[in-house]
């Protein structure tokens, strides 16, 4: 088999990139390990930046997102009894859109056939070959048969655990890794949300987040120790804990219901540099992870592929190699700013096992500052809606 651009991974990064390249007439094949149902069963991101929704608009795939997505003009930071409103629309003049990653992925998957985007699901043993030559290739097995896909470029959009990052020699790779001593236990339930806007709460028992997917579907998270078994949290115990951590006002408005999904995700900050090696590019979680506190992971995947599609289009349209050469630096500049924001918000909103009296006073002082400073609120809002591309 032959294609111009081989993409590994049909998550948001791979699917968005595939569509952006197809829109420029570039031939693309995506090789994905899982089945479509498995991918659509992963409950992840909920908040989309304007940069991400603009890409869906550019692709003409925003019809359902515009109809069903919830435009949010602000969110709350809670600290004990205090609620600080970050009015992003007032401060920055932009909104974010609450639309699940699952829905975005579904829209991109459904449009693949009509746009000529080939996706090979169920590929096992995916491996990358000759990435630093002019003739890279991808091998895999499908239906028990060995396959080889020759291409001009490989885009590694295969998430944190995929093979693409490993294809970059350790001698040229620099890894930055920070693991947090806690995870988020998430619950999805078909009940109305307790709040119209998201609430990020720093409570003495640990962080909690009230989020949603629609007016009838809620998504909540609580901070739990690393390695906490989900079975320790039967639904009722989790609802009780959320009611405490979200504070009396929001807590009393919680509507309880059976969990549709419940899982624990560890928190991590991670960057692998560079994001290009020869004819291999990394994008999204394959290259970097942010803790979910800033709602940046999916949005960073989207900005990476916006840059990457521009670089590859320049190559195919004009023979311009500058975009390709500059991709890694350009993407990393934005990645590190999102890493900073996600790390800072994580530190501010969580109770760490070693938080001492001084650290706690620092959190309170920072909350005081944010509560009383339009400049501080603007800085948070500017990052939350997404820095410009």
234 is catalytic: no
Subset of 229-268 contacting ligand RFL (CB under 6 A): 265
* Strands of 73-130, DSSP E: 75-79, 82-86, 96-98, 118-120, 124-129
Q: Nearest approach, Cβ of 334 to ligand RFL (angstroms)? A: 13
Question: Whose Cβ is closer to ligand RFL: residue 66's or residue 161's?
Answer: 161
Q: Compute CA distances 333 → 2, 30, 283, 318, whole Å.
A: 33, 27, 13, 25
Question: Whose Cβ is closer to ligand PHB: residue 9's or residue 193's?
Answer: 193
262 is catalytic: no
Select the binding partner of residue 293 from ligand RFL, ligand PHB, none (C-beta < 5 to 8 A, by kind).
ligand PHB
Cβ atoms of residues 308 and 155 within 8 Å:
yes
Spell out a b/e string for 225-245, using b for 16 or more CB atoms within 10 Å of the CB, else e. eeeeeeeebeeeebbebbbeb
Subset of 275-294 contacting ligand PHB (CB under 6 A): 292-293
Tell whether residue 183 is a contact of ligand PHB (CB under 6 A). Answer: no
296 is catalytic: yes
Question: Whose Cβ is closer to ligand RFL: residue 276's or residue 364's?
Answer: 276
With tokens 């419940």, the residue in question is 262
Residue 94's SS3 state is: coil
Torsion of the alpha carbons at 364, 365, 367 and 372, rounded to the nearest 10 = 140
The residue from 95, 219, 245, 330 that contacts ligand PHB (CB under 6 A) is 219
Q: Nearest approach, Cβ of 358 to ligand RFL (angstroms)? A: 30
Question: Whose Cβ is closer to ligand PHB: residue 260's or residue 325's?
Answer: 260
Select the binding partner of residue 219 from ligand PHB, ligand RFL, none (C-beta < 5 to 8 A, by kind).
ligand PHB
Question: Whose Cβ is closer to ligand PHB: residue 202's or residue 309's?
Answer: 202
Tell whether residue 46 is a contact of ligand PHB (CB under 6 A). Answer: yes
Select the binding partner of residue 162 from ligand RFL, ligand PHB, none (C-beta < 5 to 8 A, by kind).
ligand RFL
Q: Compute CA distances 81 → 77, 84, 201, 249, whole Å.
A: 11, 10, 10, 9
- Quick note: the x/- pattern for ligand RFL over 301-320, rule CB under 6 A, is x-------------------
Residue among 88, 5, 99 nearest 57 (CA):
99
Q: Compute CA distances 359 → 126, 267, 365, whole Å.
A: 46, 20, 10
Cβ atoms of residues 78 and 202 within 8 Å:
yes
Select the binding partner of residue 206 from ligand RFL, ligand PHB, none (C-beta < 5 to 8 A, by kind).
none
337 is catalytic: no
Cβ atoms of residues 300 and 179 within 8 Å:
no
Neighbours of 127 (CB within 10 A): 12
Residues known to be catalytic? 72, 200, 292, 296, 384
Residues that bind ligand RFL (CB under 6 A): 8-14, 31-34, 39, 44-47, 101, 123, 126, 157-159, 161-163, 184, 186, 265, 284-286, 292, 295-299, 301
Residues that bind ligand PHB (CB under 6 A): 45-47, 198, 211, 219, 292-293, 295
């Amino acid at each position: 088999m032959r294609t111009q651009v081989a993409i590994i991974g049909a998550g948001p990064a791979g699917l968005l990139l595939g569509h952006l390249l197809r829109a420029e007439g570039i031939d693309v094949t995506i090789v994905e390990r899982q089945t479509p149902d498995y991918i659509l069963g992963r409950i992840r991101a909920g908040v989309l930046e304007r940069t991400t929704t603009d890409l869906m608009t550019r692709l003409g795939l925003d019809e359902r997102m515009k109809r069903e997505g919830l435009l949010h003009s602000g969110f709350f930071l809670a600290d004990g009894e205090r609620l600080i409103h970050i009015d992003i629309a007032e401060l920055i003049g932009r909104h974010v859109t609450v639309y699940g990653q699952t829905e975005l992925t579904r829209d991109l998957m459904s449009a693949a056939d009509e746009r000529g985007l080939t996706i090979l699901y169920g590929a096992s043993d995916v491996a990358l070959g000759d990435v630093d030559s002019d003739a890279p290739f991808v091998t895999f097995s499908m239906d028990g048969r060995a396959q080889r896909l020759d291409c001009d470029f490989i885009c590694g959009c295969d998430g944190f655990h995929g093979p693409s990052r490993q294809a970059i020699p350790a001698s040229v790779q620099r890894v930055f890794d920070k693991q947090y001593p806690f995870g988020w236990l998430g619950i999805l339930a078909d009940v109305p949300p307790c709040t119209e806007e998201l609430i990020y709460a720093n409570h003495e028992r640990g962080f909690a987040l009230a989020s949603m997917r629609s007016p009838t579907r809620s998504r909540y998270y609580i901070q739990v120790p690393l390695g906490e078994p989900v079975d320790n949290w039967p639904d009722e115990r989790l609802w009780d804990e959320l009611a405490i951590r979200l504070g009396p006002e929001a807590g009393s408005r919680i509507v309880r219901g059976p969990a549709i999904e419940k899982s624990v995700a560890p928190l991590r900050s991670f960057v692998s540099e560079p994001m290009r090696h020869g004819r291999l590019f990394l994008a999204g979680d394959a290259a970097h992870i942010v803790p979910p506190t800033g709602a940046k992971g999916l949005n960073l995947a989207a900005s990476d592929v916006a840059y990457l599609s521009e670089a590859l289009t320049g190559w195919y349209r004009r023979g311009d190699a500058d975009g390709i050469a500059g991709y890694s630096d350009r993407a990393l500049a934005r990645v590190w700013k999102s890493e900073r924001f996600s790390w800072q918000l994580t530190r501010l909103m969580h109770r760490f096992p070693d938080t001492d009296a001084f650290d706690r006073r620092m959190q309170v002082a920072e909350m005081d500052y944010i509560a009383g400073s339009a400049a501080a609120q603007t800085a948070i809002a500017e990052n939350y809606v997404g820095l410009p591309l």
